[in-house]
Structure 1
């Protein structure tokens, strides 16, 4: 019995990420005292569900210049050369390389994150939230996934090295909805 037989409404298909109902956010400690948060407001992507969920895949492309922390000056600094360097690296991408069952609705989504021109393997802890109808999107058949990972910004050459001002650990949180392509 495959894991997909236990997911109501599951179909093997291609899904488009619904950016109006999805969020890609980050959290990083500032001065070791408090967490600074932000998100990316422009991204696209697809989910391809296979007959067995473990054969499924995800690709996401993020506009690095869409970073939004709520502080204009900080956003401009993040876009600059010492952080995201969006003039030279305008896109952040994630491409999955495999999915592993962790138990229940929980999975490990392995993939490659390319940020600032450097590609690093990343594992997201993911929860498959289910499939249903979205009345806010013309009753589209929609799937939902929550995922998170912690990455080291220095692996991507982002920001100064070993700095008490800004933690090297960055938590990424994703709330994703994707609609079934016709």
Structure 2
């Protein structure tokens, strides 16, 4: 539910792919080739997994200047889906995402630092539940190339861990559930 805005890392990750010039991409969520997922401990005994079904974003990148890459992602927080209607209703309440007051979460990158040939730290500002905090996404380039429809695509994955209280989500779920892991996979279509 947080960095999940990991879609965020996408743009910055693109810098990892090795293209010859800067390009703009739109995240392909319509074809379900992108996802923002989360995982949180349930009482220390198991895990609850979920996702955000409605989000959009874009990124630009230049392999010759990866530090100038950028990514922007917007998430409809009402689209949270943990495969349990009552839990999702609770997640939308002011105990967690406070959807009535903050229907959108956003991520805007502020920097990219290459950590390997196909990995990077993507830094950016995440706004969730009305709170904006800097976050770092561990990103990895998956691949790029032509698609069967005459387009060109690039894909990345990324993870980060958010502390709920950092975003004024104060509902105490116990010591094992203070943090949420975001797992993001994105595929962008070059414009």
**Same topology, TM > 0.5:** yes
- Which residue of 127, 131, 147 maps to 2:144? 131
Aligned to 1:153: 164
TM-score norm. by structure 1 comes to: 0.90
Aligned residues: 175
The Cα shift of 1:134 comes to 2.6
> Take 1:123 and 1:103, find their aligned partners in 2: how far apart are those partners?
16
Mark the CA change 1:10 to 1:147 in structure 2 (over 3 Å): closer, same or farther: farther
Query: What SS does the aligned partner of 2:127 have?
Result: strand
Which of the pair has more CA radius of gyration?
Answer: 1
> Take 1:171 and 1:5, find their aligned partners in 2: how far apart are those partners?
24
- Which residue of 79, 92, 98 maps to 1:85? 98
Query: What SS does the aligned partner of 1:21 have?
Result: coil
Aligned to 2:56: 44
| Counterpart check, 1:13 vs 2:23 | yes
TM-score norm. by structure 2 comes to: 0.86
Structure with greater proportional strand content: 1
> Take 1:65 and 1:165, find their aligned partners in 2: how far apart are those partners?
26
Checking the alignment, whether the CA contact within 8 Å between 1:8 and 1:131 is kept in structure 2 is no
Aligned to 2:122: 109
Aligned to 1:22: 34
Query: What SS does the aligned partner of 2:177 have?
Result: strand
Mark the CA change 1:5 to 1:23 in structure 2 (over 3 Å): closer, same or farther: closer
| Counterpart check, 1:142 vs 2:153 | yes
The Cα shift of 1:54 comes to 2.1
5+ residue gaps, structure 1 = none
Query: What SS does the aligned partner of 2:21 have?
Result: coil
The Cα shift of 1:110 comes to 0.4
Query: What SS does the aligned partner of 1:154 have?
Result: helix
The Cα shift of 1:8 comes to 4.8
Checking the alignment, whether the CA contact within 8 Å between 1:30 and 1:165 is kept in structure 2 is no
5+ residue gaps, structure 2 = 1-13
Checking the alignment, whether the CA contact within 8 Å between 1:152 and 1:168 is kept in structure 2 is yes
The Cα shift of 1:10 comes to 4.5
